[in-house]
Structures are given as C-alpha cells and as structure tokens.
Amino acid sequence: MPARVYVAQISKQQELRKLVAYDPYLDNALKEEDLSKIRDDEMANIIFARQDCVIKEGAALNLEREKVYLYISATDEFLEKADKKLKAQIEGIERADQEIEQKIIATINEEQSKAESGFGFIFG
C-alpha cells in the first residue's frame, strides 16, 4: 500500500495524536443523529484510526528534535483526502520532503518487519 509522511512542529504532537486516534463511530458520547450527520460528511469519514499510522518524534529518528512525523499507509484515495483534512486541522503540517519521507518509510517498514518476525518466533 502507498505511504506518506507528514511533518509538524513538536508542539502539535498531542493534537496530532488525538486526530489520529479518534474514530467517531466508537465515540459513545455521540448520539445516533450525530452519527447520521457524520455518515454524510466526507471529511468526517476520513478516519486515521482505521489506517496504518505511526507518529514519531524527530529525535527518535535522528532528525530535527523540534519536529514530529506522521507516517500513513493507506489507499491513494484515502491519502488524497487525508492530506486535505490534516492541513485543515493541524496548523503548519506539511508533507515531508522526499528524502526524509523515504528514510522514515524504510525505518517504519523495518520496525514492522522485525515485530512480525518476533511474533512468528514466539508463536512459531
């Protein structure tokens, strides 16, 4: 599946984590009429929690310490819509330049591969 990486100031990390973790369909505080409005709202149906998303601080990636990076692996259609939602809701977020994006994608793919290998070893 295609992947993208976005970068924002570290001060936006909590806001970004909240956006990425939220699924309105699992929010018990919403009433049925709220959910029916959400079903008709294209932007509300861009739910990051249902995609492969990873947030990493720049320091953990040996990159700029004052930055936070968001990795998203999803369909092209989702990524195009997600780009609009991210830029509308997280001030200053932008897509990482290609070199950094490729480095982060490779790092996360390697981490996921190691995790899968570990589970395979445990459950053999």
pLDDT above 70 covers a percentage of the chain that reads: 93
Tens-digit pLDDT profile for residues 39-71 = 889 999 999 999 999 999 999 999 999 999 999
Region 17-25: mean pLDDT is 96
Residue 118 has pLDDT above 70, yes or no: no
Q: pTM score, two decimals? A: 0.89
Assigned token pair, 42: 């294209």
The beta-strand segments (E) located in the chain are: 3-9, 52-57, 67-73, 94-95
Domain boundaries, the chain: 3-123
Burial classification of residue 5, based on how many CB atoms lie within 10 Å of its CB (0-12 exposed, 13-18 middle, 19 or more buried): buried
